[in-house]
Amino acid sequence: MFKLGSRVVGLNNYPLIIAELGINHNGSLKKAINLVDKAFKAGAEIIKHQTHIVEDEMSLEAKKIIPSHTKENIFDIIKKCSLSEKDEFKLMEHTKKKGMIFISTPFSRMAVDRLVKFKVPAFKIGSGECNNYPLIEYIAKHKKPIILSTGMNTIETIKPAVKIIRKYNVPFALLHCTNIYPTPTKLIRLNAINILKKKFPDAVVGLSDHSKTIFPCLGAISLGASIVEKHFTDNKKNNGPDISASMDEEELKMLLKGSREIFDARGDTKKAVGDEKYTSRFAFASLVATEEIKKNEIITKKNCFPKRPGTGDFLAKDYKYILGKKTNRRIKKNTLIKKKDLL
């Protein structure tokens, strides 16, 4: 459990739904602000951005890398979609004026420094940096909560990252993730949430989802995810490398509502609840004489069987106990067998 401002994040609190703008604004502050406004209208409480300072983030070799879901090289994509420090600050201030929390993912040391200057309440670290241990240490030194995505990584490569975070006594969350845009349903593997819980019991656990729908997000919450992150767009017909894995305003509304209902429905035990007693009166069965039973006659399977309602002295669970007992008076057919009927 940890806090983002006044928002408590953890297993015993409503799931934190992160609307990720990412680079869906295509480098336009106007579009970014519009996305914030749409997310606010849907009920979002937290916005996540990506802080790119491309000259500190990538070498020129990145110009040779073309992601499978785009036609441009990654260097040019990020260069085009980056916000300047001035514009990103304006975006953060606009978000905060709406009463929402603003966090961002730094992809370089200069990006970390910018966000420290912005006084963000936490850092989000993307899957690609999960094994970038020098950058993780650079971030952890600032003693702010860390939300770490773990896509493309194994338990063994996650462990060193967690070790660094623990070294600085920083509260943290681990998000299961699959970095395919969009992620086919069969490759989402929600059970990894349970594995992360087991392997890292001191971590808040959640999901960063890149599928086409919000269904995996809701499934993750039913498994105990405390954080769900998903890209957000104002229009699924927009162009952009992350649009295919993004939710729109209506889906965000549904996710926010569904997350709370599923959290409330999750519960923590398997036992009868108090108000079920009213249902059990008619739903349970009592032991009944299936034929007339005479005085001093033995209760047998032939003359006794459970029938509704469950208001008798003996319920269906007492069937074996009552077999072989002798009666001390006549019991009419189709009536409840009572304690006073037996010797």
Query: Closest Cα partner for 148 from 168, 128, 124?
Result: 124
State how far the Cα of 147 lies from the Cα of 222, in Å rounded to an integer: 20
Distance of CA 169 to the CA centre of its chain: 24
State how far the Cα of 5 lies from the Cα of 75, in Å rounded to an integer: 34
For domain 8-266, give the fold. TIM Barrel (3.20.20)
Show contacts of 121-129: CB within 8 Å, 24+ apart: 121/4, 121/5, 121/145, 122/4, 122/146, 122/147, 123/147, 124/18, 124/48, 124/148, 124/149, 124/229, 125/149, 126/50, 127/151, 127/152, 127/153, 127/177, 127/179, 127/208, 128/152, 128/179
Domain 274-341 has CATH 3.90.1210.10: yes
Domain ranges of the chain: 8-266, 274-341
Quick check: do 8-266 and 274-341 share a fold? Answer: no
HSE, CB side, 13 Å, CA atoms: give it for residue 49.
Answer: 38
Pairing, β 101-106 against β 286-289:
unpaired
Q: How far is CA 108 from CA 44, 132, 137, 139, 242, in A?
A: 27, 10, 12, 10, 21
Q: What is the pLDDT of residue 68?
A: 83
Pairing, β 7-9 against β 2-4:
antiparallel
Q: Peptide bond before 160: cis, by omega within 30 degrees of 0?
A: no
Q: Residue written as tokens 């006044």? A: 6
State how far the Cα of 92 lies from the Cα of 75, in Å rounded to an integer: 24
29 within 8 A of 90, measured Cβ to Cβ: yes
Distance of CA 142 to the CA centre of its chain: 27
State how far the Cα of 322 lies from the Cα of 198, in Å rounded to an integer: 46
Residue-wise DSSP of 135-176: HHHHHHTT---EEEE-TT--HHHHHHHHHHHHHTT--EEEEE
Considering only the C-alpha atoms of the chain, give the largest distance between any 2 of them, rounded to a whole number of Å: 99
Q: Can you read off the two tokens belonging to residue 73? A: 């090289």
State how far the Cα of 136 lies from the Cα of 296, in Å rounded to an integer: 82
Read off the amino acid at residue 276. E
Quote the pTM value: 0.91
Pairing, β 286-289 against β 304-307:
antiparallel
Q: What is the pLDDT of residue 70?
A: 84
State how far the Cα of 269 lies from the Cα of 272, in Å rounded to an integer: 9
Q: What is the pLDDT of residue 71?
A: 85
**Helix H segments across the chain?**
29-42, 54-57, 74-81, 85-97, 109-118, 133-140, 155-167, 192-199, 215-222, 249-266, 277-283, 319-322
Secondary structure class of 91 (helix, strand, coil):
helix
Q: What is the pLDDT of residue 184?
A: 98
Q: Residue written as tokens 């785009």? A: 70
Q: Encode the chain (343 residues) as per-residue pLDDT tens digits.
A: 999 989 999 999 999 999 999 999 999 999 999 999 999 999 999 999 999 999 999 999 999 999 988 889 999 999 999 999 999 999 999 999 999 999 999 999 999 999 999 999 999 999 999 999 999 999 999 999 999 999 999 999 999 999 999 999 999 999 999 999 999 999 999 999 999 999 999 999 999 999 999 999 999 999 999 999 999 999 999 988 899 999 999 999 999 999 999 999 998 889 999 999 999 999 999 999 999 999 999 999 999 999 999 999 999 999 999 999 999 999 999 999 999 999 9
